[in-house]
Amino acid sequence: MNQVHRGHIFHVAGSPTVHGATDALEYLEDGALVVDGDGRIVYCGAFDGLPEDHESWNVVDHRPGFIFPGFVDTHVHFPQTFAGDAYGGGQLLEWLNACIFPSESLFADPDFAREAAVKFCDRRIAAGTTQAMVFGSAFPHAQDALFEETRRRGLRVVSGRGVQTTGPDSAAALITSEDDAVRLVTEEIEKWHAADTGDVRTATLHVAVVPRFSLAVTTETLKNLGELYDSVRDRGVYFHSHLNENDRPGTGEVATTKEMYQVDSYLDTYDGKFLPGSAVGGKSFLGRRSILAHAVHCQDVELARMAETGTSISHCPTSQQFLGSGTMPWKRTIASGVNVAIGSDFGGGDEFLLTRVLGDAFKVHISEAGDDGISMHPAEMLFTGTLAGARALDMEDRIGNFDDGKEADFVVVDPRAWPPLQGVIDNGVRSDDPTMARDQTLFAVLMAMREPAITEVYVQGRRIDVT
Ligand code: GUN
Ligand code: ZN
């Protein structure tokens, strides 16, 4: 039977780029989202426009709640579930050494990893993150726990074990041999890719090939994983890693990577072009199921290559502030045509809730110098947290907004559950112009909501709850 969810509905309809998000913003003040028995959207429109035979349908009245598409986190670290707000006494490489490698090593204990999987899913549900590209643990049993718990809870995930074949002593427990690196990723793909339905087009569990970053693997690993990825690309397997995050002169990640790989651009290491002039080169990882996190310090040629290949950027402004990485230049990056989605990068970021991360995006981009500064439109923020993420995951035909036929992933945001939000809804100043008033309402909800305001979360039309 059809189920009708009644509320104040916001979504970015159709299939625009970020440039068209504002025109594509749809607001239904008294809206109805109708979901059929298979969990698909059969109607999204005015409540008083429901078909005449709707009297027999079950109506859930969420008013005064708002209904948004489920949020899509395109970069979040499962083995850092307990590593948020870790003090490392420095930027990226110091923090990895001091806090993250030791913290991720605790996942060697299967009980600890299982507990973390439960907590990780809880935090995702609390934040309304219905789909995510999850940077995985090095340990296969921890990845098993993540996929099992995700399935048990009715969430979606794309994930792969974080591969490391070289690194400092603090990462010793996370490092494998070259042979094991390929073997363990292959086994993960065979065990978990589309494991729930057997068909990548309907599955909720998908696997990615995830070298931690170029500095954590050898040229041999990149070559071998590139060949593996090339052989499974057609099966809808994903690629995920970090790119151009920290450029501290001399000792930062970007300089060290270029030095180690003897390349002009960091992206080359993922594009099969490492060690030019030597025999070592390989297959490219880039493509429309590839997501690279950060991309703060890209050259134009790198942005153009990502746009050309359909590779997406996961923009992580909360983490970029926490680790002093700088700011992905918004205008220049989107002008290149590359798809930019949002990522919490938890625990480099210290917020699971993507609207907080989008709020940080708003704040850092309005502060960019001179003509680079921009006041993001709330529709662009919503787009970046929903439809752009679906596109980055090559799942735009399934999720990301409330177009007919899509799978019904959505969240209910009830101001009554978070008094500061209720305050800005009831007493915030609104323009007399209806379009401006709509935009102000959307902005206020995105900026003022916190986890307690997310009172209900649905995936494929089914309600899921925090334990
Ligand atoms: N680069 C390599 N590993 C990591 C990580 O865990 N977090 C972030 N933010 N950057 C990385
Ligand atoms: Zn990260």
Question: How far, in Å, CA of 56 to CA of 2, rounded?
Answer: 9
Please enumerate in sequence order all residues whose Cβ is within 8 A of that of 164, keeping only pairs 6 or more positions apart, or say none. Answer: 138, 171, 174, 175, 176, 211, 212, 216, 217
Do the beta carbons of residue 453 and residue 413 sit within 8 Å? yes
What residues does each domain of the chain span?
3-69+402-464, 71-368
pLDDT at residue 306 in the model: 98
Alpha helices in 107-266 (DSSP H): 110-126, 140-153, 178-192, 219-232, 253-261
Determine whether 192 is exposed, middle or buried from the number of CB atoms within 10 Å of its CB (0-12, 13-18, 19+). buried
Whether the CB of 268 sits within 6 Å of ligand 1:
no
DSSP 407: B
To test ligand 1's pocket by mutation, which of 80, 174, 210, 213 has the most ligand atoms within 8 angstroms of CB? Answer: 213
Q: What is the mean pLDDT of each run of 10 residues along the chain (467 residues)?
A: 96 98 98 97 96 88 98 99 95 96 98 98 98 98 98 98 98 98 98 98 98 96 96 98 94 92 94 70 94 98 98 98 97 98 98 98 96 96 99 98 98 98 97 98 98 98 92
pLDDT at residue 53 in the model: 81
Question: How far, in Å, CA of 132 to CA of 393, rounded?
Answer: 9
pLDDT at residue 410 in the model: 99
Whether the CB of 75 sits within 6 Å of ligand 1:
no
**Cα of 263 from ligand 2 centre, angstroms:** 22
Tell me the helices (H) and strands (E) count for the chain, helix number first.
16, 16
To test ligand 1's pocket by mutation, which of 76, 217, 242 has the most ligand atoms within 8 angstroms of CB? Answer: 242
**Which atom from ligand 1 is nearest to the alpha carbon of 80?**
6
pLDDT at residue 280 in the model: 62
The amino acid that residue 177 corresponds to is S
ipTM of the complex: 0.99
CATH number for region 3-69+402-464: 2.30.40.10
pLDDT at residue 466 in the model: 83
Could you confirm whether domain 71-368 is CATH 3.30.457.10?
no
**Which atom from ligand 1 is nearest to the alpha carbon of 253?**
1
- The pTM for the full model equals 0.98
DSSP 96: I
**Which atom from ligand 1 is nearest to the alpha carbon of 77?**
6
